[in-house]
Amino acid sequence: MELQTWIWLLVGLSFALYIAIAIWSRAGDTKEFYIAGRGVPPIANGMATAADWMSAASFISMAGIISFIGYDGSVYLMGWTGGYVLLALLLAPYLRKFGKFTVPDFIGERYYSSTARLVAVFCALIVSFTYVAGQMRGVGVVFSRYLEVDINTGVFIGMAIVLFYAVLGGMKGITYTQVAQYCVLIFAFLIPAIFISFLSTGWVIPQIGFGSSDQNGIYLLDKLNSLHKELGFSNYTSGTKSMLDMLLITLALMVGTAGLPHVIVRFFTVKKVSDARKSAGWALLFIAILYTTAPAIAVFARINLIETTNNKTYSNMPTWFKKWEETGLIEFTDKNNDQIIQYSADNTKNELIIDRDIMVLANPEIAQLPNWVIALLAAGALAAALSTAAGLLLVISSSISHDLIKGIIYPKVNEKQELVAARISSFVAVMLAGYFGINPPGFVAATVALAFGLAAASFFPAIVMGIFSLKMNKEGAVCGMIAGMSLMLVYMLKFKFGWFGGGSSSQWWFGISPEGFGSIAMLFNFLISILVSKFTKKVPEEVQKLVLEIRKP
């Protein structure tokens, strides 16, 4: 069959499956809408958590960014995976035992304050909208190439699909849809990698293949280092970032993972406290399958791209190049009018501009794999982006309907009214997410990395101290969250968007990137929280007893 037929077939079947699951598992009350009725088995919850977690950034962008920056990209592997260890040990079981619906719910109750809840709602909305922008952008990138529509149209189609099963099914529908999406995305990610690994090295296991030699006996990493040297790029297996920035980015991604509302809420959906730990363990296993494969795909994609484009005649380029060129995600500018593509680290000579987000998606086409493999990858990429977008939109809707409306504005709202408010909030959230998807602040992985910094700066200290400190009071927590979030937002807006006279990386404070600055803002949050709590009223006795109770095994 033709490629386009395969794409429509596999993407259509996967979408039909998601919609069918949403109809079957539609939510009938707020408990099902917010936490899936607390009846999700640990292995299913682990799979859903992995799908919720492995977003467009993990599926599309992570291998793409590693393929361009090499060693420096390892921060994403270490930070995002390590965050789940923190979640399993520090947060998941305690939050499940606390028994609330959302992160702002926990903060409002633990810090006995509507103000704390309101600040937490604000932080949840900022983090979630920053994160969801990357997901909708990822949806647009995939649709623009494979369904041959422009990126904006792709975003609108993705909005419609997410809106259907997020609004209808709530957490219950999203959970079981995400189980299906995990199966789709992991097969879609692994199969092209297995094909290319076998064709390049003779190994069917990509993790072994990318550390092996090709048919000419040259180790792939040595080959890639040699290609980089020829083109003027830095050594692929050596880092260019400072050790301090590497450490801070990794830490920000780890604690940001442990503070992300859409990830934490997944552990509220299981029956027992012990199931929360088991879910985190299963999720880590399911995530590791993709995360250990990504560096292999990065190497395969980078070598294939360089060898099939550099010093090649533009008119003889294969179909895949022209197709991606139509999306605007790869551009050739013939600076010397010789019709030969020159790819170089020197911007005065370089004639090829490549969007990092296409590396994973274009890789099977570059390697001339069968059409069904390319179509499967398209379905997997959409599953990754849509699964996370749905989880984020649920956090946004629950923050508004449960935490803001029921928790603060109108506590007397009945369950039916709250469910209606949740669904209306989901609709508004999808509209805003679509706007951010059309006007994103950077490529997918960079946008998502900022969300982790915001989560690290705001939620992580408040949650950790809420569980493990009897002395942390409402004044300390509120001031810490406001201080951490404000500092991170100022730094992000200054150096990512050029506000407040922001400039290039040479002006970063102490050489710390915006992606790594979340760690500094988190430490600032801790410092302000502790200082303020020392000079304000003690935590009430009943709240101290509550904290001691949730810490009991």
Give Dmax (Cα) for the chain. 79
β-partners of residue 469 are: none
Report how many helices (DSSP H) and strands (DSSP E) the chain contains, helices first: 24, 2
Residue spans of beta strands (DSSP E) within 285-351: 330-332
Report the alpha-carbon distance of residue 95 to residue 273 in Å, rounded: 9
Report the alpha-carbon distance of residue 116 to residue 148 in Å, rounded: 47
pLDDT at 39: 73
Q: What pTM did the predictor assign?
A: 0.81
Radius of gyration of the chain (CA): 23
pLDDT at 521: 95
β-partners of residue 313 are: 340
Report the alpha-carbon distance of residue 392 to residue 22 in Å, rounded: 17
Q: Which residues contact 283 (CB under 8 A, 6 or more apart)?
A: 45, 46, 47, 49, 50, 53, 84
For 330, phi and psi rounded to 5 degrees?
-140, 135
> What size, in residues, is the chain?
553
Q: Which H or E run includes 549?
A: helix 541-550
Report the alpha-carbon distance of residue 105 to residue 409 in Å, rounded: 14
Scan for tokens 């003779």, then name that residue.
202
Report the alpha-carbon distance of residue 518 to residue 260 in Å, rounded: 13
Report the alpha-carbon distance of residue 178 to residue 390 in Å, rounded: 9
Q: Does residue 70 come out as left (phi exceeding 0), alpha (psi in the -120 to 50 range) or beta?
A: left
With b for 16 or more beta-carbon neighbours within 10 A and e for fewer, the 71-80 pattern comes to bbbebbbbbb
- pLDDT tens-place string over residues 74-123: 888 888 788 878 877 778 788 888 877 678 888 888 998 889 988 888 88
Token pair belonging to 366: 């570059």
Q: Which one-letter DSSP state was computed for residue 538?
A: P
Residue spans of beta strands (DSSP E) within 77-186: none
- pLDDT tens-place string over residues 169-214: 667 777 888 888 889 899 999 999 999 999 888 899 999 988 888 8
β-partners of residue 352 are: 332
Q: How far is CA 23 from CA 18, 174, 183, 383, in A?
A: 9, 11, 19, 18
Q: Which H or E run includes 43?
A: helix 42-53
Find, among 332, 326, 376, the residue nearest to 145 by Cα: 326
Neighbours of 339 (CB within 10 A): 12
pLDDT at 503: 65
Is 211 exposed, middle or buried (CB count within 10 Å of its CB: 0-12, 13-18, 19+)? Answer: middle
**122 contacts 39 by C-beta, under 8 angstroms:** no
**233 contacts 345 by C-beta, under 8 angstroms:** yes
- pLDDT tens-place string over residues 493-507: 888 777 777 666 677
For 475, phi and psi rounded to 5 degrees?
-65, -45
Token pair belonging to 270: 């299981």
Report the alpha-carbon distance of residue 521 to residue 526 in Å, rounded: 9
Token pair belonging to 500: 């407040």
For 238, phi and psi rounded to 5 degrees?
-120, 150
Find, among 218, 222, 198, the residue nearest to 208 by Cα: 198
pLDDT at 35: 61
- Distance of alpha carbon 176 from its chain centroid, rounded? 19
Neighbours of 431 (CB within 10 A): 11
Residues of the chain with pLDDT under 70: 25-37, 57, 101, 134, 138, 145, 165-170, 440-449, 502-505, 553
Token pair belonging to 225: 């280092």
- Encoded amino acid at 11, one letter: V
Percent of the chain with pLDDT over 90: 16
Neighbours of 336 (CB within 10 A): 9
